[in-house]
Amino acid sequence: MRIKRLANLGLLIGMLCGLAAISHAQTCSASAANKVGDQITVAGYLTTTDPNENGEGEPLLISSSGGEFSAVVNNYFINTTFVYTATAANEVITGTNVGFDGDESCSVTATISKSPLLTPGQKSFFAGLAAGLGIPAAGFSTVGGLCTAAIITGPICGLPGVILGGVFTGGAALSAVIALDPSDPNFMQIVVVVIPTIPPAGPATGVPQTVIDAWNAVQENGAQVIGYEEALLTTLNRAAGANSAGNTFWLNQQLAEASILEGQLAPWLSRLASSLMTLQTALQVAGINVQLTSSQVLNFETQVVSSGIPPAELSFLQSIDNDPTFLTNAADLLLVQDINAVAGSVANLLAPPSLITLLNSFSQNTSDSLFQVRYAANLNIGESYINITNTGANGAALLGPGFGTQSGNICVNVYAFDPGEELISCCSCLVTPDQTVNLGVNRDLTVKTLTGVVPTSVTVKLLSSLAGGDGTGTSCTNSAASVTSANLAGGLAAWGTTLHANPVGGYDSTEAPFTPSTLSQGELASIGGRCSAILGNGSGFGICNSCRAGAFGASHLSN
């Protein structure tokens, strides 16, 4: 187990003295026995024994002999995959480690693509998540070490920085290897999800309860993410094992389980995003923070190189997963983080927009995505209906909606656009778990448009958020105007009917599901801001009617 490393003494002396190493270029390559038109999956991987490697600008440049593909791998210890279509037979893929100075190594693999266990987009997501969590992992791990050594003091040291750093580190380490698909021969068993138990933060001098609650929410949501990531990793490895053994039955069983786990993981990633934003705000309001210097971060990473992960954090990580590979991956990711990216306000490391967008994006790749789009046409001929369901992805009341505490409630925020891209109406609907509700496009969305004009076609966008911020709310008043990244959640399924002209006369009403779509921060700000303007300045125009219980289906409409 490579948890403790011997530092390269000459390298460290040169680094500390500010000596510039002579840059070289290391290469690595792989061959593919492909035909023209084959899809080739390329994986690039960088390793090092040097701290701060992600900040030294020594990437892996990958290119194909056919000239149709090139890519860059910037992050060390994160397997990064790409797919391209070959324009020449028997291609060679070459990687060049720019700035190679003796402590890095690279590897490139190339395979003719078969049905992947994860899509390229999913593999890209987990690689991005490993990179995104790596920075706060190094930051809070550094804070925990500084507090333990009494180099810094104050309220921040009353919080378990080592534990939170370990949560980030564990999530990053699992994300970095989840797409590697190593073969597991134990493929005739379905995994049991185990959520690690994380000791909560308790009362601390100078720390308000709002901060403690927010801190514990991040730890709990992080524990859920780690548990489902571990289960998904095991399942994908078992699927690879079944595939290698030619056992189609168990391959399909494991792939079905992986699909279930992906759906279960998605809402926890969104909840983690929400809780990170809440914790960042709570720390800022309470004035609890620390400014890390790049030297402090470099010292921490150098200690990981020479002595391994600090004992307190290592003990926590071992309680999550004592597998040597996991622990090595965790140490590897801690030692290579860009020290300048980690330095600064530690509170600001919690919720950078790029990380929040990424965490929310995974649920956008599921069928009950938080953001979905569809159109309705020929509205001058007849009605189009929208049916909306809460899938229960965010939980449900144990004994049903009529007894006990509410849980898993979502606000479905509705935005209708005319063909000129104008937002003509917006509103929101409370949808409880397992409930189906409906909207009529003419009846509810265009009945009182902001412009006063009733279009013959519209684009309808649906965006789901947790009612009350945590799924226990029972009102969605003004939700469409006030929704933020902090309370987005999946669990939305929707279908829409629309009218199409029949070649033999009349119109037919067809029904299709809404399309899960990517939600950008710009789009979120735009639809929320424009809906706010409607509520504030439309004098009642542009506010659509809310949903009604039950569902409507498609039908035939004659002239």
C-beta of residue 439 within 8 angstroms of C-beta of residue 385: yes
Residue 7 pLDDT > 50: no
CATH of domain 22-112: 2.60.120
The pLDDT of residue 22 is: 34
CA 479 from centroid of its chain's CA atoms? 23
List of residues 6+ apart from 482 with CB closer than 8 A: 528, 532
Provide the percentage of residues in the chain whose pLDDT is more than 90. 55
The DSSP line for 388-418 is: EEE-STT---TT-TTSS---S-EEEEEEEE-
Domain ranges of the chain: 22-112, 120-360, 367-396+404-557
- Average pLDDT of span 439-451: 94
pLDDT of residue 21: 35
Tokens for 347?
Answer: 């509170």
Q: Is the pLDDT of residue 326 over 70?
A: yes
Res. 41 pLDDT band, cuts 50 70 90: confident
pLDDT value, residue 12: 37
Is residue 535 predicted with pLDDT exceeding 90?
A: yes
The structure tokens listed for 166 are 């370990």
The pLDDT tens digits of the residues spanning 198-214 come to 999 999 999 999 999 99
Give dist(CA 237, CA 115) in Å, integer: 15
**Averaged pLDDT, 522-543:** 92
pLDDT at 429: 95
CB contact at 8 A, 531 and 481? yes
| pLDDT tens per residue across span 371-426 | 899 999 999 999 999 999 998 877 788 777 777 678 889 999 999 999 999 999 99
Q: Counting every residue, how long is the chain?
A: 559
Question: In this model, does residue 546 exceed pLDDT 90?
Answer: no
- pLDDT over threshold 80, residue 436: yes
φ, ψ of residue 528 to 5 degrees: the values are: -70, -40
Block residue for tokens 């950008």:
520
- Looking at per-residue pLDDT, the higher value among 519 and 210 belongs to 210
Decide if pLDDT at 555 tops 60: no
Choice between 500 and 394, residue whose per-residue pLDDT is larger: 500
- The whole-number pLDDT of residue 11 equals 37
Average pLDDT over residues 463-476: 90
The H or E element containing residue 133 is helix 120-148
Reply yes or no on whether the pLDDT at 451 is more than 70: yes
- DSSP letters of 92-107? EEEEEEEEE-SSEEEE
Of 350, 303, 346, 311, the residue nearest 327 (C-alpha): 311
Tell me how far apart the alpha carbons of residues 82 and 43 are, in angstroms, rounded to a whole number.
6
Whole-number Å distance between alpha carbons of 486 and 218: 12
Statement: residue 4 has pLDDT above 50: no
Give the pLDDT confidence of 92-135 residue by residue, as tens digits. 999 998 888 778 899 999 888 665 667 677 788 888 999 999 99
Higher pLDDT, 320 or 134: 134
pLDDT band at 364 (very low <50, low <70, confident <90, very high): low
Asked if 229 and 174 touch (Cβ cutoff 8 Å), the reply is: yes
Mean pLDDT of 538-554: 86
CA 189 to chain centre: 28
Which residue matches tokens 């809780």? 275
Mean pLDDT of all residues belonging to the chain:
86
pLDDT band at residue 556 under the 50/70/90 scheme: very low
pTM of the model: 0.69
Categorize the per-residue pLDDT at 18 as very low, low, confident or very high, splitting at 50, 70 and 90: very low
What is the average per-residue pLDDT within 508-527?
A: 86
At residue 225 the predicted structure's pLDDT band, cuts being 50, 70 and 90, is: very high
- Residue 23 pLDDT greater than 80, yes or no: no
pLDDT for residue 56 is more than 70: yes
pLDDT at 453 over 70: yes
Sequence-distant (6+) residues with CB within 8 A of 213 are 282
Are 520 and 357 in contact by the 8 Å Cβ rule? The answer is yes
User: Given this model, what pLDDT does residue 259 score?
Assistant: 74
d(CA 252, CA 90): 31
Token representation of residue 523? 């789009």
CA dist., res. 198 & res. 332, Å (int): 23
Residue 558: pLDDT above 70? Answer: no
Burial 259-268 (b: 16+ CB within 10 A, else e): eebbbbbbbb
Does the pLDDT of residue 437 top 80, yes or no? Answer: yes
The pLDDT of residue 25 = 63
- Three-state DSSP at 245 gives helix
Q: Which amino acid is at 62?
A: I
Euclidean distance between CA atoms 337 and 172, whole angstroms: 12
